[in-house]
Chains A and B, each alone.
Chain A
Amino acid sequence: MALTKEHIDNLYAFTKKHFVEYYDLQTELVDHLANDIEVIMAENSKITFEEARDTSFKKFGVFGFMDVVEQRQKAMSKTYMKLLWNYAKDWFRLPQIIGTLAIFFLLYAIFSLQIGGYMFVGCYFVVCILLLVRTISLRKEIKSKLKKSEKLWFLEDIIFKNAMFIIVLMGPQAGQFINLVDKFDGYIPLISAFIFTLLIIYTYITAIILPKNATFHLQEIYPEYNM
């Protein structure tokens, strides 16, 4: 006997209850459980749907779906890194490399000024403020998306979490750089310009490009996205 739509809805709720938040993974586990439940029920006509479901779930071991979720996280992080790398590579190809070099030389010129140290701290603060604004707008975006669709995709979550994480990473460091303003000489302006250029590229891709193109990548990776 094939399971009804109510049974399938029950299985989605069941996976969610067992800490599987992501729709893509829920879908795969629901189909697996459903197949197994159908076999169990066919072999034993007296067993209820709930009993068959629990029997099937026990086969996942004492940690339930946790291992599957953890490994899926690793696999999706790999996919995310691939996307990030593909975008990053573009910045070092013609014609974009002209823009990259322009940013680098401009920063180097600014950081080489007598007030280079102050300029560095100023630029850092500007990036932090822009990121904070972006993080707030992304939080709003993902909240309204969740309200509307109630579906959360693993890759989408990674894209948005990473975009919002940079400010958490960069913000606390800001204070430390203030102590460096008077020691901005020698190779420091050159090294700072190089690191800052990479930081701008990384921030731009993770906080702007990837969240902006998230739907496109989700459609590419999940065939069920539009189903």
Chain B
Amino acid sequence: MAKSNLYKGSLTTIILKLLSEHDKMYGYEITQKVKALTKGELQITEGALYPSLHKLEAEGLLEVDVAKVDNRLRKYYKLTEKGTTETVNKLDELERYIATLQTLINPKLSY
């Protein structure tokens, strides 16, 4: 799963879902959280994470906050009001997609 890139289409939904459960998160924290929650099964690559975060920010779904931590600046992301609404829509969309895939993978045959 980790190597198959199957998660890419759902990456923004994963980010939005995580941020809906946390007040704010930074990039590295998101990668580690996903890794921990999926027990290493799903690993978000750095090259995919930041473009998604920047896209969501440009769309007004995320807002940023910066704090000084250990000699460096850390950029935190949090959901905007628009982002909170979009999270619900995206999760609903993903659930329906998973259900559709289920019917394709495990079709219930009727005789």
Contact = CB atoms under 8 A, between A and B. Distances in A.
Interface of A: 2-5, 7-8, 27-32, 34-36, 59-61, 63, 67-68, 70-72, 74-76, 78-79, 222-224, 227
Among A2, A67, A71, the one with the most B-chain Cβ atoms within 10 Å of its Cβ is: A71
A3 B74 CA distance: 14
Among B57, B58, B59, the one with the most A-chain Cβ atoms within 10 Å of its Cβ is: B58
10 contacts: A8-B71, A28-B50, A31-B72, A32-B27, A32-B50, A59-B45, A67-B47, A75-B58, A78-B58, A222-B66
Nearest to A67: B47
Given A32-B28, A67-B47, A223-B64, A79 B70 contact: no
B65 A223 contact: yes
Contacts of B7: none
List 10 A-B pairs, minimum CB-CB distance, nearest first.
A71-B51, A75-B58, A75-B54, A35-B28, A224-B66, A2-B70, A223-B66, A78-B58, A68-B50, A5-B71
Contact of B73 (A31, A78, A79): A31
B70 A3 contact: yes
B73 A224 contact: yes
Contacts of B28: 31-32, 35-36
- Tell me the dominant secondary structure on chain B's binding face: mixed
Chain B residues touching A, range? 20 to 34
Interface string B29-46: 000000000000000011
Given A32-B27, A67-B51, A75-B55, A224 B45 contact: no
B30 to A, nearest CB: 10
A20 B67 CA distance: 21
Contacts of B59: 78
B82 interface: no
Nearest to B59: A78
A72 B45 CA distance: 16
A31 B71 contact: no
Among A32, A61, A72, A79, the one with the most B-chain Cβ atoms within 10 Å of its Cβ is: A32
Contacts of A78: 58-59
A56 to B, nearest CB: 9
A188 to B, nearest CB: 40
A89 B110 CA distance: 59
A118 B83 CA distance: 53
B75 A224 contact: yes
Contacts of A35: 28
B108 interface: no
Contacts of B50: 28-29, 32, 68, 71-72
A31 B55 contact: no
